[in-house]
Amino acid sequence: MANNVSVESARSIPKNADAIGIPVGVTGTVPRQLGLSRSALSEHGFDGKVGQTLVVPSSNGPTLVAVGIGDARKATAATVRRSAAALARATARRSHVVTNLVDAVSLDARTAAQAAVEGFVLASYRYTDLKSGVTNPAITLTLVASGARAKGCDSGVDRGRATSSAAWTARDLANTPPAYLTARMLADRAVTLAKESGLEVEVFDNDKLAVMGCGGLLGVNRGSTEPARMVKLTYTPSGAASGHLVMVGKGITYDSGGISLKPSDAMHANMKMDMSGAAAVLSAMSALKALRCRAKVTGYLMCTDNRPSGSALAMGDVLTFRNGKTAEIHNTDAEGRLVLADGLSLGTESKPDAMIDIATLTGACLAALGTKIAGVLGTSDSFIDQVRGAAERADEPVWQLPLERDYRRLLDSNVADMRNIGGPYAGAITAALFLAEFTGEVPWAHLDIAGPMNVDGDDGWLSRGATGFGTRLLIDLALNFTKPRR
Ligand code: BES
Ligand code: MN
Ligand code: ZN
């Protein structure tokens, strides 16, 4: 469902507010408006730490909520985002929430406002489309900033609206069950979103994919009763482009494992989220025009489900990809790399300045880095540094793993150019080495988001279910993109 939180920027506290978030640091004076001393606050377990809130009941007028901001002088986008998320959770049933959080921190107003909007909106997220009789109530957030900070706040609110709506869309897409979001439906959604957000869009069906030689996407699709789709999105900036960036997203709308069937555990039920990479690319690109991105960006969404059936990909089958390389299938559950291979091959053909793919690719990456951190690997440290910068600013953490060339031999095949799985160890690295075969000379980075694609329970600005991880990272990356060295 569409984002139900509307955000505005104001110079003073509006009259009709029904909750006011009052920032309180771990040190310094407690705002008089709250009517409580620091010792009274701490008696109630509130000491101003980031993430803490204390609701002060009142019999008339708006409810006051103390919002912890930690050390106001050391505030970062990440701490402001978390403070605003805590405010959203403390005021969940209020329709109009106001706060002067942006004015309370020594962080530039634009950055603070953007982070506050993101934290509040994303913490308010719920996937309710399939709950009968449940709709998300309309909520208004007003960010109050005064004097010299007002202008920055206005522009931060605009940005935050765009980035949080994009992440919201990515969450909605990933939370949608397989039968409600087939490859065809995902492509239809992409067409609608593209038209609404000023992107060019082209959809490729199985016939076109066959002509193009996309044997990886078609191979994975072979077991399905639903056809595959590839979606190509193009964002062209209005002035001269600062560079050309390609984004490729894994769009497996449901990953059963195929013939290498997954066990029916909780993880398997999350495999409706195996298109989280494609969702991140699509939703990130949908925000580029509003944010006046100066780089040209081309996106490829590689969409199909992965199913077992009489026609499904078999062990020992060999696929030929768009760039002519071949792979022998040793595990049909290693399907993400097969669909990405065609997307990356296509991406290199236009000789972009850099290319990034994003995929819920390996359980090995989840095992290595856990649910909070995505793996990043690639062929250009200078481009990976840009990715790390974007991750830092978006608070979507990544950690670089080595693209160890010595492990390439683990992919050797007796009959084809490579096999589609490595050995029992370093699964995130061997998966990336497989992808590297399709990136030619283009500086390339790969994001493995198998860990952070999902959270089991609400946590700060993450709301249970799909996280939309990577959406805001990709937006930031595109906005700050410069041609990398290889
Ligand atoms: N989509 C999965 C990876 C995944 C696992 C994502 C857990 C999110 C949470 C991927 O297609 C997969 O099945 N990978 C296999 C690869 C293996 C067969 C080499 C895996 O990680 O087990
Ligand atoms: Mn799989
Ligand atoms: Zn998968």
Q: Which of 120, 138, 144, 312 is nearest to 221 (CA)?
A: 312
CATH number of 330's domain? 3.40.630.10
Q: What is the pLDDT of residues 135-172, one digit of tens each?
A: 889 999 999 999 999 999 999 999 999 999 999 999 99
Q: Looking at the structure, tell me whether residues 19 and 119 fall in a common domain.
A: yes
Q: Looking at the structure, tell me whether residues 101 and 224 fall in a common domain.
A: no
At 244, give phi and psi (nearest 5°): -125, 120
Using only the alpha carbons of the chain, give its radius of gyration: 23
Residue 160 belongs to some domain of the structure: no
pLDDT at 425 over 90: yes
Closest atom of ligand 1 to CA, residue 335:
11
pLDDT at residue 60, rounded to an integer: 85
**What is the rounded distance in angstroms from the CA atom of residue 403 to the CA atom of residue 377?**
6
**What is the rounded distance in angstroms from the CA atom of residue 88 to the CA atom of residue 170?**
20
**What is the rounded distance in angstroms from the CA atom of residue 112 to the CA atom of residue 252?**
36
Q: Looking at the structure, tell me whether residues 180 and 57 fall in a common domain.
A: no
Q: Looking at the structure, tell me whether residues 208 and 140 fall in a common domain.
A: no
Residue entry with tokens 């805590």:
86
pLDDT at residue 58, rounded to an integer: 81
Question: Which residues, judged by CB distance below 6 Å to any ligand atom, belong to the binding site of ligand 1?
Answer: 255, 267, 274, 331, 333-336, 360-364, 366, 421, 427, 450, 453
Number of H helices, E strands in the chain: 15, 19
Q: Looking at the structure, tell me whether residues 213 and 335 fall in a common domain.
A: yes
What range does the domain containing 54 cover? 5-146
Q: Is 262 an annotated catalytic residue? A: yes
Q: Which of 302, 474, 294 is nearest to 386 (CA)?
A: 474
Name the residue type at position 483: K
Q: Looking at the structure, tell me whether residues 401 and 474 fall in a common domain.
A: yes
Residue 243 belongs to some domain of the structure: yes
pLDDT at residue 369, rounded to an integer: 98
The three-state secondary structure class of 279 is helix
Q: Ligand 1 atom 7: the closest Cα is on which residue?
A: 363
Mean pLDDT over residues 249-271, rounded?
96
Q: Looking at the structure, tell me whether residues 375 and 253 fall in a common domain.
A: yes
pLDDT at residue 41, rounded to an integer: 97
Q: What is the pLDDT of residues 335-377, one digit of tens each?
A: 999 999 999 999 999 999 999 999 999 999 999 999 999 999 9
Q: Ligand 1 atom 8: the closest Cα is on which residue?
A: 450
- Alpha-helical runs (H) found in 92-201: 101-104, 109-123, 150-175, 183-196
pLDDT at 486 over 90: no
Q: Looking at the structure, tell me whether residues 122 and 201 fall in a common domain.
A: no
pLDDT at residue 133, rounded to an integer: 93
- The two beta strands, 444-448 and 354-359, are parallel
* Model pTM score: 0.98
Mean pLDDT over residues 314-329, rounded?
98
Q: Looking at the structure, tell me whether residues 184 and 140 fall in a common domain.
A: no
Residue 400 belongs to some domain of the structure: yes
Contact (Cβ atoms closer than 8 angstroms) between residue 256 and residue 270: no
pLDDT at residue 3, rounded to an integer: 87
Report which secondary-structure segment, H or E, holds 86. Answer: helix 77-90
Letter string b/e over residues 437-461, b meaning 16 or more CB atoms within 10 A of that residue's CB: bbbbebbbbbbbbbbbbbbeeebbb
pLDDT at residue 2, rounded to an integer: 80
pLDDT at 485 over 80: no
CATH number of 129's domain? 3.40.220.10
Contact (Cβ atoms closer than 8 angstroms) between residue 96 and residue 413: no
Q: Is 409 an annotated catalytic residue? A: no
Mean pLDDT of the chain: 97
pLDDT at residue 1, rounded to an integer: 74
The three-state secondary structure class of 134 is coil
Q: Looking at the structure, tell me whether residues 125 and 230 fall in a common domain.
A: no
Residue 154 belongs to some domain of the structure: no
Contact (Cβ atoms closer than 8 angstroms) between residue 106 and residue 73: yes
Residue 283 belongs to some domain of the structure: yes
pLDDT at residue 93, rounded to an integer: 85
